[in-house]
Amino acid sequence: MINLEDMVVVFDLDDTLYPEEDYVISGIRYLEEFLTAIYENSIKEEILSAYLGGRKDFLEYTCKKLKLSKSSKESLLWAYRLHKPNIKLSNEIEDVLKFLKEMRSKVIILTDGRSITQRLKVHSLGLNKLPLYISEDYSSEKPNKKRFIQIQNDYPKKFYVYIADNPLKDFKAPLEMNWTCIGANWVKNKIHNFELSSMPKITLNCPLQIKEVLLKMDGIED
């Protein structure tokens, strides 16, 4: 039996705490507003329609649409990465985070990506007070163990749980370190889709099930 106060619950960010496609749509809408203003050529809804219609390289489409040079694509990419995203937590995720706070579990975010971009996401979600372990800050991406080891050093002698969505890179390191891994399968429109059979043994279709799993570890029935 494991006391919830002794748990360190580590969340992935994209497609775990929120749907990553919401971030993509937010960035596209920002680009539409931004480019319409500076080029005085309205393309509102056009980039988004192209993306939703299957044009995944929406930056290439935008350059062609506005007859911009190829080098402009890099500028558009940075404008996209540095925009303040319009994203939010689901009610279920908020409920789980509230539960973990009440149970005095330590909650941490471990995510791959650029430091500024990921922090902008975390701020928009209202989670900026949580400890962040971002790959760019550590020069280490999953499945490397560096940040998982750092978490154990920062919060020693705890029971570690990692909740994430990508079986190709998320779980290798924590499983080798005997962490409990939980597959997040509640985002339906994932940026990257995977076979469910490749997810961890504990794979959940609703965030609220996290509470049930952790309470059983604690020996408490919900």
Element (H, E) at 8: strand 7-11
For 151-176, write each residue's pLDDT tens digit.
999 999 999 999 999 999 999 999 99
Task: List all residues 6 or more positions away from 108 whose beta carbon is below 8 Å from its beta carbon.
Answer: 8, 9, 10, 11, 130, 131, 132, 133, 151, 155
Residue 19 pLDDT > 70, yes or no? yes
State whether residue 209 is helix, strand or coil: helix
Distance (Å, rounded) from C-alpha 58 to C-alpha 37?
A: 18
Across 43-52, 97-106, 130-139, 186-195, least confident range:
186-195
What was the pLDDT predicted at 218?
63
What value does the mean pLDDT take over residues 74-80?
96
Largest CA distance in the chain: 63
What was the pLDDT predicted at 217?
84
**How many CB atoms neighbour CB 180 within 10 A?**
20
Read off the pLDDT band of 102 (50, 70, 90): very high
Q: Return the percentage of the chain with pLDDT > 90, whole number.
A: 84
Residue 10 pLDDT > 90, yes or no? yes
For 188-213, write each residue's pLDDT tens digit.
888 777 777 788 999 999 999 999 99
Closest-CA residue to 51 (of 63, 62, 42):
62
What was the pLDDT predicted at 219?
62
What was the pLDDT predicted at 71?
92
What value does the mean pLDDT take over residues 77-83?
97
What was the pLDDT predicted at 196?
72
Residue 222 pLDDT > 50, yes or no? no
What was the pLDDT predicted at 52?
92
> 63 near 76, Cβ under 8 Å?
yes
Residue 121 pLDDT > 90, yes or no? yes
DSSP state of 68: -
Cα 101–chain centre separation: 20
The residue with tokens 């760019």 is 136
What was the pLDDT predicted at 44?
84
* Cis peptide preceding 143, ω within 30 of 0: yes
Averaged pLDDT score across all residues of the chain: 93
Residue 220 pLDDT > 60, yes or no? no
Distance (Å, rounded) from C-alpha 112 to C-alpha 135?
A: 5
**How many CB atoms neighbour CB 3 within 10 A?**
15
The residue with tokens 């499945």 is 143
Distance (Å, rounded) from C-alpha 187 to C-alpha 16?
A: 7
Q: What is the CA angle 59-40-85, rounded to 5?
A: 45
Query: Any bridge partners for residue 182, and if so which?
Result: 163, 202
